């Protein structure tokens, strides 16, 4: 998979060389290219923002540098690819969305700043590529970079061959095998710690009982914290 990021803060993407994503890059399964939007701004100040039509506070990202960036990055190709535009007014990104995007050949993340990107950019882009405007959740970030990083991590770990033991993907929160319930609580050694004991059933070696207990715990946790998932 190839991932492109367009941003005015390329430094945000330095941590992609760490941990699991860094290893995916080293192994050649993942290609990451970070682009400075200002490379496509041609005035002396390399401006990427301007005042909003209709008035109001804040600035809006100008369409011209984005148009040039997208024309440079979106070459005609049969590959499965999408332009992802993080936005507080996008559809909410989810595990299901990550599963779907993990099967793509190329994802281009358009990371805005200020009050966002002139709306004509997404409209233009949708004539040449699949466009997804995606939100991380109902809160406002200062720009798209952190949202793009979070989405990247959720997507890349689902790519075939990226996680050593694929069983660890199966039973976690929001995966279909746990009926989209939250994950049950987990424990490791020591069996007693600061007066707290690991639930007896987990030490019993009785696999059917353990599975039933985990299922109960997952349901109770979901009912308490995320009843919207039931």
Residues in touch with ligand JCH (CB under 6 A): 86-88, 112-116, 135-137, 139-144, 147
In the complex with ligand JCH, which residue's Cβ is closer, 112 or 181?
A: 112
**What is the smallest separation between the CB atom of 28 and ligand JCH, expressed in angstroms?**
30
Q: Three-class SS string for the chain?
A: CEEEEEECCHHHHHHHHCHHHHHHHHCCCCEEEEEEHHHHCCCCCCCCEECCCCCCCCCEECHHHHHHHHHHHCCCCCCCEEEEEEEEEEEECCHHHHHHHCCCCEEEEECCCCCCECCHHHHHHCCCCEEEEEECCCCCCCCCHHHHHHHHHHHHCCCCCCCCCCHHHHCCCCCHHHCCCCCCCCCCCCCEECCEECCHHHHCCCHHHHHHHHHHHHHHHHHHHCHHHC
**What is the smallest separation between the CB atom of 178 and ligand JCH, expressed in angstroms?**
25
**What is the smallest separation between the CB atom of 7 and ligand JCH, expressed in angstroms?**
10
**What is the smallest separation between the CB atom of 112 and ligand JCH, expressed in angstroms?**
3
**What is the smallest separation between the CB atom of 93 and ligand JCH, expressed in angstroms?**
8
In the complex with ligand JCH, which residue's Cβ is closer, 9 or 213?
A: 9
In the complex with ligand JCH, which residue's Cβ is closer, 65 or 116?
A: 116
In the complex with ligand JCH, which residue's Cβ is closer, 25 or 141?
A: 141
In the complex with ligand JCH, which residue's Cβ is closer, 141 or 159?
A: 141
């Amino acid at each position: 998979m190839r991932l492109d990021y367009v941003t005015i803060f390329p430094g945000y993407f330095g941590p992609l060389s760490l941990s699991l994503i860094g290893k995916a890059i080293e192994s050649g399964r993942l290609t990451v290219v970070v682009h400075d939007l200002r490379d496509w701004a041609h005035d002396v100040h390399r401006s990427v923002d301007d005042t909003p039509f209709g008035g109001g506070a804040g600035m809006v990202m100008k369409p011209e540098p984005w148009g040039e960036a997208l024309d440079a990055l979106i070459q005609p190709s049969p590959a499965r690819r999408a332009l992802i535009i993080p936005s507080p007014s996008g559809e909410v990104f989810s595990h299901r969305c990550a599963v779907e995007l993990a099967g793509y050949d190329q994802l281009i993340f358009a990371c805005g700043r200020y009050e966002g990107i002139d709306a004509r950019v997404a409209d233009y882009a949708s004539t040449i590529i699949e466009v997804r405007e995606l939100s991380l959740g109902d809160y406002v970030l200062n720009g798209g970079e952190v949202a793009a990083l979070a989405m990247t991590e959720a997507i890349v770990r689902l790519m075939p061959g990226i996680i050593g033991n694929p069983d660890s993907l199966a039973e976690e929160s929001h995966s279909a095998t746990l009926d989209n319930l939250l994950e049950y609580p987990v424990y490791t050694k020591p069996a007693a710690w600061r007066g707290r004991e690991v639930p007896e059933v987990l030490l019993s070696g009785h696999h059917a009982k353990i599975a039933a207990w985990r299922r109960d715990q997952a349901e109770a946790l979901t009912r308490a914290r995320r009843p919207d998932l039931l």
